[in-house]
Every structure is written in structure tokens, then in C-alpha cells.
Structure 1
Amino acid sequence: MATEHTALPSPELIAKAAALNVFDDAGNEVSFGSIINAQKTILVFIREAQYVMQLASVRKDALEAANARLVIIGCGDWKLLKNYCETTDFKGPVYADPSRGLYNAFGLTQNLDTTPAGEEKRSYLGRSYIGNVMKSIWQGPLKNPQHVGKQGNISQLGGDFVFGPGETCTYAWRMRHTEDHIEVEDLMKEAGVAYP
């Protein structure tokens, strides 16, 4: 049984969201509908760069075999997208939703809570967490001080979805705290993508 954080968005909500625009890495507006209509789309509203680093390990041939693509949407300025891809080694499409219209439409909430006591931390926060944080800081604000303050709302939580093809959704996971992206392996399983 679905709980609030796993409830699928209704067809009506998806239809409304399809008309909302995001920005690509060149600053062009792109409708959400055009992102999900072509093929099955594993869509991650991102919260953690460490998670994107793990998503970068999803094999291109595995995505192709499942007729799927992996897309990232962030809530910061589109001008940061190319640097973000360099920092995380992510090669797929990345978009920016600075108004957080899609974040709000899909019920993604805000808080700064971390993993509750007694709950196991996600694997993407594993042993290399400190190294990944240092890499993010070095390749982000230290290397590009003009980006400071443009990363989006720090309390905005993300979510992980499988859409399409078309205006349908077969899987939804909304983060409940700042370290709560679904495990990449579980997300790929929901999308029918072999991983690793």
C-alpha cells in the first residue's frame, strides 16, 4: 500500500505538470511533457550530489536495453548545470527548475532533517562521502565562486520517479529527509534497468 511519500501522482496532476517548463544547460525553456513523452524516463529531482555520482554508474547499454533514459532536475540556476555534470561525472540530460514548480507539483517537501536514529544510511552516503563532499566543494563554490547562492533552496528535498512513455507514472519516491533518495539499485529495478 502506498504511503504519502510513495503515492503515484494522478493523471490530472501529471497533465498539469507537463505544461510547466524547466531550463536546459543552455538556458532554453523545455516543457516537462517533452521530457517524459518520448520514452520511459527515470527522473530524479536531486537533493544530493553524491546520489548523482552513483547514478553516473548506471550503464548506458542497460538503459538502452530497457528503452529508458535517466534525467536529473535540480532546483538551482541553469548556469550551474554544466559544472554540476563535470563534478558528478553524470552524462545524461540535466535540467533546472529554479521556480520549483515541478518540485511543488509532485509534493516534494522541505526540511533539513538527516537520517533518523536507528535508520540505516543510504549506500550513496558510504565510505567515500567525505571525499565526494570535498570534490563537490572544490569543483563547486571554490572553483566557481560566482555560483555561490545559486544552488537553490538548501532545505528542498528531492524525489525519484519513473514516468512514461507519455503522461503516466509507475513509481514515486519522495524524500522524507535530506539523506533519503531511494537506493539506485532499487530505482533501476522499478524501471526495469539492469544494475550495476
Structure 2
Amino acid sequence: MAETVSPVTRQVTKEDQETWTPSIDIRIEDVEDCLLYDRHGVSIPFKKLYQDRKSVIIFVRNFLCYSCKEYVEDLSKIPREALEDADIRLVVIGQSAYTHIESFCSLTGYPYDMYVDPARCIYQKLGMKREETFTDSAHPSPHVKSGLLMGQMKSIWRAMTSPLFDLQGDLHQQGGAIIAGPGSRVHFAHFDTNRLDHMPINWLLQLAGVQQTLDFSDKPNIIHV
């Protein structure tokens, strides 16, 4: 049986940041007109997310992925006032049909903006990876609490019990994170190499200008630094 991964409670330090995957250069202009869909099926161009303010944009693998679910559960713990004080928008993008957004938000408790890119237009044009690559030096996500075996069992069970049985996205597609705006300026980009290669949330927030650090060990207590 795969070893269960205990919750990681340490904060990301400057040393951690320096050894993580370096920022990827991207041309966000190439995808600004790609269409996203909200939970009602209403479309907007991608550029609408970051034109008027800085945005932290998270791309997830698929809505059945256990590691994406647990990562978004931690995103849901970010206090709204922390984002508002820094004038930052938080957005999650999946690649399923828009009909799955409502249930995924309900499942994870995620209260912020969520859209889908069912054609994977942005994923493909920006060059986000398909298939997974694992290396000995890879940094596991500090937000994934389930071990591989248990996590996969949870994903299969959710697929079997879903009233809309489908894979909710390309199972081979990997995600990533972008900090962009206002305008077409990209401050940071990271493309995941596998399901555990998420950017630590505290680091993303700090890069975006949030002056607070969150503790994800139990509940979102704020530690002023």
C-alpha cells in the first residue's frame, strides 16, 4: 500500500523559492482571445480575467483529480480580505464541461471565480504538459494530503457516483499557475510536470503582493509577517 502523505504545515521559505522550478516565459497575447465558460455556460475571453487587475490564475488537471481537489480546498481557505487588500483576483480554470463547475465548487468549498477551457485552447497554446514526469528532485505539493493509492480510489469513486459520469477533462493534461495583469504583463508562470507539482499557495500569494502568510495545517489562521 502506498504511504499516506501527512499534511505539510511548514511555510515556504526564501530557500524553497530559489530551488523551485524557475518562471516560464510565455506570450499571453497568444491566448488572450481563447474562450472560457462560467458555471452558467456564458463565455468570456481569457484576457477579461487580468485586463484591469493583477490575477493569480490556477489551471488544474481535471475535476476528478484528487490532488487538484485537495489543492483547491486549500485555495478556498484564503480569506477574501487578504485578496482584496492586495487588489488581487483569484481564478481557477479547469478543462471539463461547464456543467461540472458548480459541483466542484461545492465539493471543495471554493468561493472565488472558476471557469473552464473545454477545448484546452489555453493549455495547448501555452504549452502546458501532457503526461506526467517524476524526478527525484521534484517538490511534492505541500497541499496534497492523500497518498497515491487512496487518492486514486477517491477519484474513481467520485467518477462512479457522479450523476454526470464522464472523465471531467483530459486525464493526461497537466496544469499550472500564472500571475498576470493588469494588462498583458506576466509576472510569473509555472507549468506542472505531474499531479503533485503545484506551486505552494503562500509563495504564489507573496509573489502576487499579498503581505500575509497562511497556515494550511488546520484552519486558515493568519500570521502577520
Q: TM-score, normalised by structure 1?
A: 0.85
SS at match of 1:42: strand
Deviations 1:23-70 (A, max 9, x none): 111001111011111211100011311111111111110000110010
Structure ID, larger Rg: 2
Residues 122, 183 of structure 1: 8 Å contact kept:
yes
The share of aligned pairs that are identical, in percent, is 25
Is residue 42 from structure 1 mapped to residue 60 from structure 2 by the alignment?
Answer: no
Deviations 1:84-104 (A, max 9, x none): 101111101100101100011
Residues 138, 197 of structure 2: 8 Å contact kept:
no
Cα offset, 1:130, TM superposition: 8.1
Match of 1:77 in 2: 97
User: Quick one: which of 141, 165, 186 aligns to 1:147?
Assistant: 165
Cα offset, 1:120, TM superposition: 4.5
- Give, in whole Å, the separation in 2 of the partners of 1:187 and 1:133: 27
User: Quick one: which of 86, 102, 118 aligns to 2:122?
Assistant: 102
SS at match of 1:108: coil
- Give, in whole Å, the separation in 2 of the partners of 1:16 and 1:118: 32
SS at match of 1:146: coil
Residues 70, 145 of structure 2: 8 Å contact kept:
no
- Give, in whole Å, the separation in 1 of the partners of 2:202 and 2:69: 17
Residues 63, 69 of structure 1: 8 Å contact kept:
yes
SS at match of 1:38: coil
Residues 73, 95 of structure 1: 8 Å contact kept:
yes
Residues 5, 175 of structure 1: 8 Å contact kept:
no
- Give, in whole Å, the separation in 2 of the partners of 1:96 and 1:164: 20
- Give, in whole Å, the separation in 2 of the partners of 1:127 and 1:24: 29
Cα offset, 1:126, TM superposition: 2.8
Q: How many residues align?
A: 189
Given the superposition, is the C-alpha separation of residues 179 and 127 from structure 1 closer, same or farther in structure 2, using an over 3 Å criterion?
Answer: closer
Is residue 189 from structure 1 mapped to residue 206 from structure 2 by the alignment?
Answer: yes
Match of 2:193 in 1: 176
SS at match of 1:95: strand
Cα offset, 1:177, TM superposition: 1.6
Residues 163, 171 of structure 1: 8 Å contact kept:
yes
Cα offset, 1:118, TM superposition: 5.4
Question: What is the root-mean-square deviation in Å for CA atoms of aligned residues?
Answer: 2.5
Unaligned runs of 5+ residues in structure 2 are: 1-17, 62-67, 215-225
- Give, in whole Å, the separation in 2 of the partners of 1:90 and 1:17: 25
Q: Of Structure 1 and Structure 2, which has the larger fraction of its residues in helix?
A: 1
Cα offset, 1:143, TM superposition: 4.1
Equivalent residues in 2 for 1:1-196, closer than 5 Å: 6-9=23-26, 13-47=27-61, 48-113=68-133, 115-117=134-136, 119-126=138-145, 140-149=158-167, 151-193=168-210, 194-196=212-214
SS at match of 2:28: helix
